[in-house]
Structure 1
Amino acid sequence: MPPGVGGLGPDVGDMRHSGDMTSPSAVDTRTAALAALRELVGRPDADFHDGQYEAIEALVEGRRRALVVQRTGWGKSAVYFVATLLLRRQGAGPTVLVSPLLALMRDQIAAAERAGVRAVAINSTNAHEWSEVMQQLDRDEVDVLLVSPERLNNPAFREQQLPALVRRIGMLVVDEAHCISDWGHDFRPDYRRLRDLIEQMPPEVPVLATTATANSRVVADVAEQLGTGGSSGDGASAVLTIRGPLARTSLRLGVLRLPTSASRLAWLLSHIDDLPGSGIIYTLTVAAAVDTARLLRDHGHDVRAYTGQTDTDERTESEGMLKRNEVKALVATSALGMGFDKPDLGFVLHLGAPSSPVAYYQQVGRAGRASESADVLLLPGVEDRDIWHYFATASMPDRERAERVIAALGDQPISTPALEAMVDIRRTPLELLLKVLDVDGAVRRVQGGWVATGEPWSYDAERYERIAGERRAEQQHMIDYEQTDGCRMEFLQRSLDDDTAAPCGRCDNCAGIWFPSEIGESATTQAAESLDRVGVPVEPRRAWPTGADKLDVPVKGRIAPGEQAGEGRALARLTDLGWGGTLRELFAAGATDAAVTPQVLGGCVRVLADWGWTERPVAVVAMPSRSHPLLVDSLARGIADIGRLPYLGALDPVDGGPSGQPGGNSVFRLAGLWDRFSAQGLDIPEGPVLLVDDLADSRWTLTVAARTLRQAGATEVLPFVLALRG
């Protein structure tokens, strides 16, 4: 069977439809649908899984709204491809398939081609093809148009192409539909906009939503939104929900609890070759994915890192290599998630747990889709809760920030960079907040930027507290999964409110521990050495932020070469697997300011020894730290003493020092730092100066301080910090 056709496995011919076949129309539709299915999978004996034909019939004959909640590999894509072919033969317009990830789009287009379905995509990577795609739509040469949810609010697409498309649409398909819901594990504001699209569509146009990861709360929420404007009744009652058992009999689940990051990596080094076939190793952060992939490659294992920061072409190449079994594994963040289709994926291993059993089920569902067995192992980390908390709070809109954004907007468009300079919110959280406010109707994206709609808006504190409370409960539920002595697959099924849940007979709790637990001595040494690696470049700022002059900071454009900082160094990132844990304790909320420890100072000395600067520093200067004065002063003195360099002291704070808080928007951060440091009390020698601080975030503190030192006579300023955020 060709891969990528919605997980219709080798047993498809054994799955028989048992629905009503009395109507001649139903007979004709089923005959045509079955022929299309067999063409899709390339097997003359193929038949429908339970529920597949019911969904197709509801869409084609009943023109209904349907929600399909079925396990990964059941064949959800077969439903919408077959329904599309039948609707097109009846003269319907193209299907619009809203798909969340580029990797998923690529697989869906490939599957469509094998089925004889003409599919094209409009997304951020193929802007050069959009004109041709629209011409193909005009010539009615497209059966399925794949778009991202974000594209639906692109002003040009929304105003120029979407209205005509809505008039001609033959069917709307929402893939990974749990994203529609506030209760879904992958909350995406743009998905909530689909309710508005459904309201615009003619009521007789069928709508299909599919997902493998929805509990009863999500099912009810999605069904309610699909029922908007439907012709077959009111609300969720008009939506046909087809929900099947979610047990994955091919998966062998297990949990291995190890005390440290070093022991988890050592286990992986010891046993990666024992894992069957090729697979995915999931991590919770970009830094962990990159560091783990580097460690494995350094010791002869063919792996690649795959994160949201990986170049698009490289991600595509890596996906292909994994599908062709040319690598043992991709070490990935959740960027490699929904819809990635490799039916024979042999294993999924997690270094650190996702924040909910629902999200975990979705990720492990990549494995064993067309094979009798695949191994799934979770190695939870003690730092998991801290990472969950960070991501959960980062995605929630803040009342004060939201009101600030609305107040700054009027009826004339303001670009995101210009708005960023007005409201003191960094670009990424600002873009997320704008999406939320757009969906809420308070702001609108137009050509040239954003405008306020003038519609009344209030912060729905109750709603967001409900969501936050549910996420906390899901996090605890994930801890319960790790600690349960019952069947692990049954636990995941019950987390998804699957009332068919029963012991699987295969997991470590049902059948006994199936994975080795010993760790090789050499692997322990190698993992410890990798985690003990120090030194991260701190890239200098080269240009002033746009809009600084609006806050009375008299700079713009490039920073003058004679005022720039040089490339700096950090001991490690806060998110690093190794030194990150030590640094997170140092900078934890409420941590006591204390002198630098010999261990940390020793790590810093190693960074300095490996720096490779063009000219050795001639002196050490400290930043006047507000939060860690003892730590910074002792670190600067310790470096100066070991390096036999003069310690000149700290820069003097002017007018009380910097105003505002670290981590803000660039323009506001710069304005709070401008002219707030003085080197008048320091005898700055000619030559490079080592500038010591605790934490680099926006890097504007280091930039302004370096400018001050350069103006005081330093020929170069080399920033050194303990931690780099992110």
Structure 2
Amino acid sequence: MDRQAAETLLRTAVGDPNAHFRPGQWEAIDALVNQRHKLMVVQRTGWGKSSVYFISTRILRDRGVGLTVIVSPLLALMRNQIEAANRLGIRAETINSTNQENWPVISAAMLDDEVDAILISPERLSNEEFVGEVLLPVADRVGLLVVDEVHCISDWGHDFRPDYRRLVNVLRQMPPNMPILGTTATANNRVIEDVQAQLGDIEIQRGPLVRDSLALQTLRLPDQASRLAWLAQHIPELPGTGIVYVLTIRDAEQVAAWLNQQGVVARAYHGSVVHDDFENSNQYRQHLEDLLLNNEIKVLVATTALGMGYDKPDLGFVIHYQAAGSVVAYYQQVGRAGRAIDTAYGVLLSGKEDEDIHEYFRRSAFPDERDVNAILDVLAEHDELSVVQLQPHLNMRRRQIDKVLKILSVENPAPVIKQGSQWRRTPVPFRMEHERIEHLTTQREIEWQEVQGYINSEGCLMAYLRHALDDPETDDCGRCTVCLGGPVVGIDVDRSLVIAAAQYLKHAEMPFKPKIQVAAGAFRVYGFRGNLPVGLQAQEGRILSRWGDAGWGGLVADDKHAGHFRDDLVDAVAEMLEQRWQPNPA
């Protein structure tokens, strides 16, 4: 296959008879289909990495080579890519948590060589039934392996995912001369070296990471009320539609509600967002993505759940309500904007709570050694246990148990294995890698300081990002607030909006839903099983403020240490009870 023929496929894929390869695209395709190389492509978001592997898939399948396996981290990416593959006549399927009823049909089609490309999440590699009955039987005839967002395989990456580590085991079952393509826009030299160590002798293709359309700006504001006011004042002035990134689910809901109150059409987006009109969170998230894609809302207020793979070429702006944890993560998120328009805006707001949130993220990144040992000890005392059966033996939340088991299960060899829903202890000894954990935690702290350097930079902001990503080209962009010598988006904040936002935050109480499910064996004398009887279930409560929240959080924290809550807080609770909540206890 030569360049001209491949370019014909490109035009079919993108629906443009005048399309041409971007620099590096043909070279990547040539390396995969003609030279059968292992290749890692580091190119800016919007460069067209998916075009490379779908055109390569079409060429290889036309030669009678086996299917392409694409490991991709997000459902949003899978949906978009299946549509792109279909335009090339590629039968692409996905096996994920949202289409379980289709698994048997898709699996049978794979085994019969009727599927050209299969897209799976890294979590699917932890499913022994899928690996054993579907993937391994076709492993020796896989024509191309694609690892999308390959930085996730590295401890050093900003978005490390333990399930990606299972890839190394799967690779051993695949043809040794099989071409491999790893793609990412967010890998510095340290991440690249780690990926090379895990995937073998892999070539690197790097392109310039500059985003010519992006006008960058940073802005420190004293408190959350000021940031909310800034958003309400300036988002309506920005062109098109955009994303506001937040660090927590609580902030996603709170900021979206505030913007709607101020006449800005917004929706909250996070991993557990639900709506009564939709069967599950996955369906509702797809609906939210479509609303933004079709410009039916002004802004999506999102956690990192809206990340890799969401593609809206005309996205006009990305604003960070709080600072990202690393420059690499920030580049990946702000790079969603301006892919196919001349001017887009990336504004990073920062406040005093950012440090506390990221400190919590760093502390909770690795499980406590006592929790790990407790789980291993319980499993060692039993033949096998499900997570539900584990819980009564442990003083841990379900989420903590799941996290520990996942981390243990991707070790090689693993001290635990999962068969169906049952977990079993293996004879493999386990020791916490304290030195590695300390090293990575220190690295995360250094990355956070890099973010502070970006916020305070007196040089070009785009050049700062590119330098942090080890881009060899770091020329000034000529578009950011530093290069222009003035703000690219207004920095003034309307005082009346700040007052309104402060009042809003003080009235932003949260529902508290008591648990209704009884832990196994917790009330043996009463014989309760499953849920508590309706007559014994506690009613929903209200939380005036979380610890350290904007609004009342600062006073709550101060007064807890003082041992006495001031009258202002008592009055605030009374106002919440009498004027807004108005409960009617049974």
Shift of 1:534: 4.4
State the partner residue of 1:364: 334
Q: Which residue of 2 aligns with 1:595?
A: 564
Report the Cα distance in structure 1 between the residues aligned to 2:527 and 2:410, rounded to whole angstroms. 37
1:306 match: 269
Q: Distance in 2 between matches of 1:575 and 1:129?
A: 46
Aligned to 1:434: 405
Out of 535, 542, 549, the residue aligned to residue 509 of structure 2 is 535
Q: Which of the residues 358, 362, 365 maps onto 1:395?
A: 365
Distance 1:584 1:207, change over 3 A: farther
Q: Is it true that 1:159 corresponds to 2:122 in the alignment?
A: no
Q: Show the counterpart of 1:332.
A: 302
Does 2:452 correspond to 1:479?
A: yes
One of 229, 240, 253 as aligned partner of 1:266: 229
Partner of 1:416: 387
Letter in 2 for 1:535: E
> 1:606 and 2:575 equivalent?
yes
Shift in CA distance, 553/583, structure 1 to aligned 2, threshold 3 Å: farther
Q: CA deviation at 1:77?
A: 0.8
In the other structure, the counterpart of 2:489 is: 515
Return the alpha-carbon distance in structure 2 between the equivalents of residues 404 and 566 of structure 1: 34
Report the more deviating stretch, 479-488 or 599-608: 599-608
For 1:566 and 1:601, locate their aligned partners in 2 and report how far apart those are by CA, in whole Å.
22
| Higher Cα radius of gyration | 1
Name the aligned partner's letter for residue 476 of structure 1: Q
Tell me the distance in 2 between the aligned counterparts of 1:389 and 1:139. Answer: 50
Decide whether the 8 Å contact of 2:140 with 2:175 is kept in 1: yes
Q: Which moved more, 1:91-100 or 1:525-534?
A: 525-534
RMSD: 1.9
Match of 1:451, SS state, is strand
* Runs of at least 5 residues in structure 1 that lack an aligned partner in the other structure: 1-27, 228-237, 616-715, 717-726
Q: Which residue of 1 aligns with 2:278?
A: none
Question: After superposition, what is the alpha-carbon deviation per residue over 1:19-77, rounded to whole angstroms, capped at 9, x for unaligned?
Answer: xxxxxxxxx43333222122212233332222212221121122221100111111111
List per-residue Cα deviations over 1:482-537 (Å, max 9, x = no partner): 01111100100111111211111110001122211222244223312211214322
Change (3 A) 1:529 1:499: same
Distance 1:548 1:182 in 2: 39
Q: Unaligned 5+ residue runs, structure 2?
A: 274-280
Structure 2 counterpart of 1:384: 354
1:445 is matched with 418
Matches within 5 A, 1:60-139: 60-139=33-112
Q: Is the 8 A contact 1:105 1:121 kept in 2?
A: yes
Deviation track 1:73-132 (CA, whole Å, cap 9, x = no partner) reads 111111111111111111111111111011111111122222332211110111111122
User: Alpha carbons of 1:172 and 1:249: their partners in 2 closer, same or farther (altered >3 Å)?
Assistant: same
SS state of the match for residue 409, structure 1? helix
- Code of the residue aligned with 2:347 in structure 1: it is L
Separation in structure 2 between the aligned mates of residue 304 and residue 33 of structure 1, nearest angstrom = 41
Counterpart position of 1:375: 345
**Under a length normalisation based on structure 1, what TM-score does the superposition of the two structures give?**
0.76
Match for residue 54 of structure 1 among 24, 27, 33: 27
1:668-725 Cα distance to aligned partner (Å, 9 max, x none): xxxxxxxxxxxxxxxxxxxxxxxxxxxxxxxxxxxxxxxxxxxxxxxx5xxxxxxxxx
Contact 1:288 1:577 in 2 (8 A): no
SS of 1:573's equivalent? coil
Distance 1:70 1:553 in 2: 62
Contact 1:413 1:447 in 2 (8 A): no
| Shift of residue 583, structure 1, vs aligned partner | 3.7
Q: Secondary structure at the match of 1:525?
A: helix
For 2:267 and 2:152, locate their aligned partners in 1 and report how far apart those are by CA, in whole Å: 28
- Give matches, 1:1-20, under 5 Å: none
Return 38-47 or 280-289, whichever deviates more: 38-47
Q: Deviations over 1:632-672 (max 9, x none)?
A: xxxxxxxxxxxxxxxxxxxxxxxxxxxxxxxxxxxxxxxxx
CA gap of 1:562–1:141, structure 2 versus 1, over 3 A, is: closer
Aligned amino acid, residue 602 of structure 1: D
Q: For CA contacts below 8 A with separation 6 or more, give which structure has more relative contact order.
A: 2
Conserved? CA contact 2:147–2:183, under 8 Å: yes
1:285 corresponds in structure 2 to 248
Give the C-alpha shift of residue 547 in structure 1.
4.2
Q: Give the percent of matched residue pairs that are identical in Structure 1 and Structure 2.
A: 46
The answer (yes or no) to whether the contact 2:150–2:183 under 8 Å persists in 1 is: yes
Alpha-carbon distance between aligned partners in 2 of 1:344 and 1:432, rounded to the nearest angstrom: 37
* Structure 1 position 586, deviation (Å): 5.2
Q: 1:582 to 1:195 in 2, by over 3 A?
A: farther
Tell me the CA shift for residue 414 of structure 1: 1.2
User: How far is 1:553 from its partner?
Assistant: 9.7
Match in the other structure for 1:567? 540
Q: Is this contact kept in 2: 1:288–1:576, CA < 8 A?
A: no
Measured at CA, do residues 47 and 547 of structure 1 come closer, stay the same or move farther in structure 2, by a change above 3 Å? farther
Is the CA contact (8 Å cut-off) linking 1:534 and 1:571 kept in structure 2? yes
